[in-house]
Amino acid sequence: MNRKIMSAFGIAAAASLALTGCGGQDEPAAADGPVTISLAGWDFASTPEFQTLADAYHEANPDVTVELKEYPAGDDYDTALTADLSAGAAPDIFIVKNLKNYITFQEGGTLLDISDVAGELDPATGGLEPMAVDGKTYAVPYRQDSWLLYYNKELFEKAGVDLPDGSWTWDDYAEAAEQLTKGIGEKEVTGTYLHSWQSTVQGFALAQTEGASLDGGDFSYLAPYYERQLALQDNGSQPSFATVTTNELAYQSQFGTQKAAMLPMGSWYIGTLVAEQASGAADTFEWGIAPIPQLDESTTGTENTPATFGDPTTMGISSNIDESKIETAKDFLRFAAGPEGAAALAEIGITPALIDDAVADAIFALDGVPQDDLSRFTYTTHDTLPENPVGQKTAAIQTILGEMHSAIMSESTPVDEAITEAEERVANEVG
């Protein structure tokens, strides 16, 4: 691996994981009798998907107990997991939470080759194809969130603006945001809200621009996306980047308490919004989801497939697992990434990697989920490209682009100048 910079995680992980990774395994012998396998997760109190999958698998396989091991949430998950992997103390199965670090885990030898599991999964499983590395797969997706457009139907009606109909380009979105802001006429309510993450601009540009690539060295495709967002914050149609970061605004409260009429956000927010409206943490209002706006009309309309982005959340098997448990662990992965696991996740409002009719029915059977045809189309129909394409340079490039994002959105550096600087840094520091 020849690169001049890595994230702090990447440097520490690559060094420590290489010391503990093991090579190929002989053909494992299946466990005889009851078996317990362990699974890594985080924040169990607010993230029920791990216990849900463990319970569902145990119900289908009474001789197998899936024991959970809780790790810190956020970026600390990778740090803590890496320490356990280095010490040989990691669970049998662990979540590859951040796709940027997939290569680090794979190159460190801490993940088993599970190409056989991947080959048995439905090819329609979201995020499965990008997980291949040199023809082999080391983790499989069990959930795949995609970015959608949430909108408040009542605020649209108040402003006299037509609801999204699936035909919007980004220019249509920008026009609607300005009309909503003016039409609602309340000082603290904006037409839309853009969170501070770099993905809210860069993920869409990468997914929707023909020929765009993360590692090609040319980031000019980002310019029109940034220029549009700067115009929206300058005309007051969304809170400024400085306001979002300085005041630590939360997208949940901005949309949930009706301070924004629209919100580009991942499909995970469906379950969150339903729960918050039920608990009173969010206001009660009628909402819907629409396809994320598109670069041009070639992918708009319900007769086409809109392009969006979203990294899969995947799980793999530790290379230090007891050989007698390998086949059981693989079977759990087949379950979690297959239709049975998908159905179990959908019942708690989680978007699985495999979306079939049963999953859609389960999601739209939840109290509070909008029932209109466009919302169902939006949830089930999209071409989701990864925000972090699997590659050795991804983490390093994304670090540079994250700094570029802050410079542009804070308006400390003009768009073209910031992009040129990022291109030069990638060429010089990443290669």
Same-domain pairing of 81 and 198: no
Same-domain pairing of 210 and 239: yes
CA 403 to chain centre: 20
> Is residue 368 assigned to a domain?
no
Same-domain pairing of 192 and 278: yes
Same-domain pairing of 336 and 213: no
> Is residue 369 assigned to a domain?
no
> Is residue 302 assigned to a domain?
yes
Same-domain pairing of 340 and 425: no
Same-domain pairing of 166 and 242: yes
Q: Which domain holds residue 318?
A: 8-145+310-355
Torsion angle, alpha carbons of 295, 298, 299, 301, to 10: 110
Q: Please, which pLDDT band fits residue 431 given cuts at 50, 70 and 90?
A: confident
Residues 6+ apart with CB under 8 A from 390: 99, 102, 103, 130, 131, 132, 133
> Is residue 380 assigned to a domain?
no
> Is residue 43 assigned to a domain?
yes
pLDDT attached to residue 5: 33
Q: How many residues in total does the chain contain? A: 431
Query: The domain that contains 32 carries what CATH number?
Result: 3.40.190.10
Residues 193/239, Cβ–Cβ less than 8 Å: yes
Give the predicted TM-score (pTM) of the model: 0.88
Report which of residues 21 and 319 the model is more confident about: 319
Q: Please, which pLDDT band fits residue 15 given cuts at 50, 70 and 90?
A: very low
pLDDT tens digits along 238-274: 999 999 999 999 999 999 999 999 999 999 999 999 9
Q: Please, which pLDDT band fits residue 314 given cuts at 50, 70 and 90?
A: very high
Same-domain pairing of 103 and 72: yes
DSSP string, 157-173: HHHT-PPP-S--BHHHH
% pLDDT > 70, the chain: 93
Same-domain pairing of 210 and 241: yes
* CA distance linking residue 103 with residue 14, whole number of Å: 9
Q: Give the pLDDT mean for 293-321.
A: 96
pLDDT attached to residue 32: 61
Same-domain pairing of 243 and 324: no
How many independent structural domains does the chain possess? 2
> Is residue 378 assigned to a domain?
no
pLDDT tens digits along 284-293: 999 999 999 9
Among the ranges given (6-10, 260-264, 350-354), the one the predictor scored with the smallest mean pLDDT: 6-10
pLDDT attached to residue 14: 42
> Is residue 376 assigned to a domain?
no
% pLDDT > 90, the chain: 88
Q: Does residue 159 carry a pLDDT above 80?
A: yes
Among the ranges given (6-20, 255-269, 415-429), the one the predictor scored with the smallest mean pLDDT: 6-20
pLDDT attached to residue 388: 93
Q: Does residue 4 carry a pLDDT above 70?
A: no
> Is residue 165 assigned to a domain?
yes
Same-domain pairing of 300 and 338: no
Same-domain pairing of 89 and 136: yes
Among the ranges given (29-33, 110-114, 341-345), the one the predictor scored with the smallest mean pLDDT: 29-33
Residues 320/88, Cβ–Cβ less than 8 Å: yes
Closest CA to 216 of 423, 412, 59: 423
pLDDT tens digits along 95-150: 998 888 899 899 999 999 999 999 999 999 999 998 999 999 999 999 999 999 99
Same-domain pairing of 153 and 216: yes
* CA distance linking residue 293 with residue 149, whole number of Å: 8
Which of 329, 355, 381 is where one domain is finished?
A: 355
pLDDT attached to residue 99: 86
SS3 label, residue 142: strand
Number of Cβ within a 10 Å radius of residue 268: 16
pLDDT attached to residue 30: 47
pLDDT attached to residue 417: 98
**Average pLDDT along the chain:** 92
